Structure 1
Amino acid sequence: MKFVVIGGTGLIGSKVVERLRKHNHEVVPAAPSTGVNTITGEGLNEAMAGTDVVVDLSNSPSFEDKAVLDFFETSGRNLAAAETNAGVKHHVALSVVGTGRPLLASSGYFRAKMAQEQLIRAAGIPYTIVHATQFFEFLGGIAESGGPGQEIRISSGLMQPIASDDVADAVADYALGPAVNGIVEIAGPEKAPMAELVQRFLSAKADPRKVIPDPKAPYFGAVLEPDSLLPGGVARLGKQDFKTWFARLA
């Protein structure tokens, strides 16, 4: 089988490419650096020729409301057209737990992910949308969003972060399997308030900043309810908890 991995040189994409190649499949890591651009269309039709499965792990370089929406809409339309022309049999997309929930619609990023998912459903290609919780690897970025200074305000909403290795394992498994024509959820093995997890991360790195839990602190522009970022049903759970993940990071 031939797989094209959009975003195949990134954090998750490079790991998915590695896993699929271990199954002796032809795998094309597609990214602007490899001559495939889903925004301009450069190299897209050529990459899709003879492709059975497309794995879309792309993400917008900008999280500004208009820019991120333009990215996912343009990329989604170009991918759908190229996949239809090539007769692709399965489209796998990585998205975010919480996408489609009304409370998170106040976030420009989540609105853009909703638009991406709507395009996938409308394309007429069998699909699997993988909703993942936030990655451990982005705890540092969440900390930076809390503002300058030695005290940072972070949402007290619950999260269930997952390691990128566990994400890649799941995405590769779904890509190798049949399309579900719906959403599957993946998450880490433990849940805790976001503020607590960010504080654990900072303390483990000997960062002196103190986290102030704040239920009104925004996350990607949305104020969270306690369970806004938790899986809504039975999720596939990753193997790595925070302690295991951080030990590997160190």
Structure 2
Amino acid sequence: MRIAVLGGTGLMGKLVVAEAEAAGHDVVIAARSTGVDISTGAGLAGALAGVDAVVDVSDHVTNSAKKAVAFFEAAAQNIAAAENAAGVKHHVVLSIVNCDDPRLKAFGYYQGKAAQERAVSASGIPFTILRSTQWFEFGEKTVSLMGFGPLALVPRMRSKPVAAKTVAKALVQAAEKGPSGRAADLAGPEVLEIPEMTRKILRRRGTRQLLIPVSMPGAGKAMRSGALLPGADSVSAGPTLDEWLGSH
């Protein structure tokens, strides 16, 4: 199978490319660095020529709802137009567990992902939407974005974090399976407090920073009380945090 990975040079994209190649697929890496800009549609026609399935793990980090929605809607429309022209039969997109939960509406990024899901569903291209919980790598990313020298702010959140590699494997399997609509949510095997998870990761890395748990404005209470947790029909997949740390 020929698979195009949109956002193929990012953290998740690289893992998806590796998993797809290991499974014997012909992979096209599509990103701005390879001449593809999904926000304008530039380069998409060439990247999707002869492609059987598209795995979209592209990203646009912003907490402005207006910017997030505008980006993800425009990108989804550009991608669908190129897929239709190229005869692509399956679009797989990675999303976030509970991104459409009204309790989390204060997070503009979540509104953008929910808008992306709606656009993909309405595109006319057969699709699979796979939502995952936060990744273990989320802790270190948060510290890099909210770190101030020896201090780092980490949001108070309860989640069932999952390894990014586990998500990548599930995305490739979804592409192989064929269009499934909304797939079962994917989560890790343990309910964890994100500040404590992050502290454990940094200790293992030998990083000396004082982590300060903070409540995010707006949806902070919901995040602390379980709004990020998946439903009973979700799929849990390892490794555990300790197993993941042992392999890294």
Superposition RMSD on alpha carbons, in Å? 2.3
Query: Does the 8 Å contact 1:48/1:86 carry over to 2?
Result: yes
How many residue pairs get aligned? The number is 246
Q: Does 1:172 align with 2:169?
A: no
| Contact 1:16-1:168 at 8 Å conserved across structures | yes
1:199 corresponds in structure 2 to 199
Deviations 1:42-66 (A, max 9, x none): 2111222222211100001544443
Superimposed CA distance per residue, residues 109-159 of structure 1 (whole angstroms, 9 cap, x where no aligned partner): 000001100100111111111111111112023345666476655444311
Q: Sequence identity, in percent?
A: 37
Residue range with higher mean Cα deviation, 111-120 or 191-200: 191-200
Structure 1 residue runs of 4 or more that deviate by more than 6 Å after TM superposition: none
Which residue of 2 is the match for residue 25 of structure 1? Answer: 25
Q: Report 1:31-70 matches (<5 A).
A: 31-70=31-70
The aligned runs of 1:1-250 (5 Å cut-off) are 1-143=1-143, 148=148, 154-213=154-213, 217-218=215-216, 222-223=219-220, 224-249=223-248
8 A Cα contact 1:12 1:168, kept in partner? yes
| Superposed CA offset, 1:199-227 (max 9, x none) | 2223333444444555xx118x6322421
User: Which string of whole-angstrom CA distances, capped at 9 and with x for unpartnered residues, describes residues 75-106 of structure 1?
Assistant: 11101111122222111000111211111111
Gap runs ≥5 in structure 1 = none
Q: TM-score scaled by structure 2?
A: 0.88
Rate the CA distance shift 1:130–1:149 in 2: closer, same or farther, 3 A: same
Runs (5+) with no aligned partner, structure 2: none
* Contact kept in structure 2, 1:156 and 1:226, CA below 8 Å: no
Change over 3 Å in CA distance of 1:85–1:198 after alignment to 2: same
| Change in 2 beyond 3 A, CA 1:6/1:152 | closer
Q: 1:31 to 1:150 in 2, by over 3 A?
A: closer
